[in-house]
Amino acid sequence: MAENRPATRLEPKGAMGLDVEMDRAEHTLRRRLPRKLPKRNNDVYINMKTDFKAQLARCRKLLEGGGFNEICIHGLGLAINRAINVALQLQANSFGTLQIAANTSTVELVDDLEAEVDDEEPASRTRNNSAIHIKVYHSFSK
Amino acid sequence: MENFRKVKTCEEEGPLPFPGLPAGVVHMKVKEGSKIRNLMAFATARMEARATRQIVFSGCGRAVTKTVTCVEIMKRKLGGLHQLSKVQYRTLQEVWQKQGHAEQLTVDKYVPSICILLSKDSLDPGEPGYQPPEPRDRLWTLDGGLQDQRASLLPPQTEKRFWEPPGQERVNKKMKVQESPVDYRA
């Protein structure tokens, strides 16, 4: 299972939240969090754990009460779908004042394989996942 | 609703959201069960031909992620592709039938869909959803938003243009830059 490939690690800042309870197996696969992301006040990251309505309300609040002319909605992997949905919902409820511009990218993710048996070496693997970045902005601002 | 069964779903075929595309453009309709290797084998074979200038990938619902992945693979493989992404709702018509009855119920379902145009020739950079070919993961850097980076990265010149730039705008910008230091000295 574990290939002894040279560890291709990203910057150490990506390694966060690794204190999860281990289970008894040859290796434990731990997914690191995606590497450092832009977090301005008008960036919204969509995930699949938070309630959809809450995420939509948050975006709406930023655009209406927050005084932002544009927000950036990001979605990674499975959350791409939901990110698009949030953006389209915002646009549909804006009576034509909001515009959207979508961009796609690839994000490199790192998985750590931690040895549970003594003489196995820990390794890490990288894989790619798709992401979407949707800019939602008032059409008069551009 | 328990006694109803879905009889069929049909996807509404709309025109592509990219005006001015040539008629014979390669259109990859990505479905939920499509295999990426099948899609990519066909698409890369077509794109390697010199005559193919554009390709469109589209998918809706659960196929959206797969569509984006295909596009990302294609960009990495070929390089130098201009991208235009459009997201929209697509209507799915579902026909439900009650068991043992003839009556049918038609439901319109709106699912998010994505259409991505990849072009070897340059496209209009002002269009919402445009991405130049060069910076692949610059979108994720901390400083500067999406927009600031895009402004500094004009697409490189290519031999043929799918979109004609409006006249001498670019030349004028350059001239202004050259002129300004002269003004300061005087």
- SS3 sequence of chain A: CCCCCCCCCCCHHHCCCCCCCCCCCCEEEEECCCCCCCCCCCEEEECCCCCHHHHHHHHHHHHHCCCCCEEEEEEECCHHHHHHHHHHHHHHCCCCCEEEEEEEEEEEEEEEEEECCCCCCCEEEEEEEEEEEEEEEEHHHC
Is A11 inside a domain boundary? no
Residue A21 lies inside a defined structural domain of this protein: no
Q: How far is it, in rounded angstroms, from Cα A10 to Cα B39?
A: 31
* Contact (CB<8Å) B145/A40: yes
| Weakest mean pLDDT among A69-73, A90-94, B139-143 | B139-143
Instruction: Give the C-alpha distances (Å, rounded to integers) separating B27 from A32, A34, B9, B47, B57.
Output: 36, 32, 21, 12, 6
Beta-bridged to residue A46, according to DSSP, are A75
Residue A130 belongs to a domain: yes
Domain B4-15+24-122 fold is Translation Initiation Factor IF3 (3.30.110)
Q: What pLDDT shows up at residue B9?
A: 81
Structural domain including A58 reads 28-138
User: Does the beta-carbon distance from A135 to B69 stay under 8 Å?
Assistant: no
In this structure, the number of other CB atoms found within 10 A of the CB of residue A10 comes to: 16
pLDDT tens-digit readout, A38-60 = 777 888 899 899 999 999 999 98
Task: With beta carbons under 8 A apart, name residues in chain A contacting B112.
Answer: 81, 84-85, 88
Residue A52 to residues A1, A65, A117, B110: CA-CA distances in angstroms? Answer: 37, 19, 41, 16
Residues of B in Cβ contact (< 8 Å) with A77: 65
Residue A105 within any structural domain of the chain: yes
Element holding B57 (H helix, E strand): strand B54-60
Q: Does B72 touch chain A (CB under 8 A)?
A: yes
Q: Which of A126, A127, A130 to mutate to test the interface with B (most CBs of B within 10 A)?
A: A130
In a domain, A48, yes or no: yes
Q: Do B85 and A84 touch (CB under 8 A)?
A: no
- Residue B129 Cα distances to A133, A134, B56, B178, angstroms: 10, 8, 14, 31
Q: What is the mean pLDDT of residues A115-137?
A: 82
Question: Can you tell me the distance from the alpha carbon of B153 to that of B155, in angstroms, rounded to the nearest whole number?
Answer: 6
Q: Do B137 and A135 touch (CB under 8 A)?
A: no
List CB contacts (< 8 A) between B87 and chain A. 84, 87-88, 100, 102, 134
Q: Summarize pLDDT for B57-116 with one digit per residue, the tens.
A: 999 889 999 999 999 999 888 888 899 999 999 888 888 888 877 788 888 888 999 999
Q: Indicate whether A43 belongs to any domain.
A: yes
Would residue A65 count as lying in a domain? Answer: yes
Structural domains in chain A (count): 1
The CATH number of the domain where A73 resides is what? 3.30.110.20
Q: Is A40's CB within 8 Å of B87's CB?
A: no
Mean pLDDT throughout A112-128?
77
What integer pLDDT is reported at residue A25 of this predicted model? 57
Chain B residue with Cα closest to A75: B65
In a domain, A60, yes or no: yes
By the CB < 8 Å criterion, does B36 face chain A? no
Q: Which residue of B has its CA nearest to A133?
A: B139
Sequence letter at residue B11:
E
CB-CB under 8 Å, A132 with B140: no
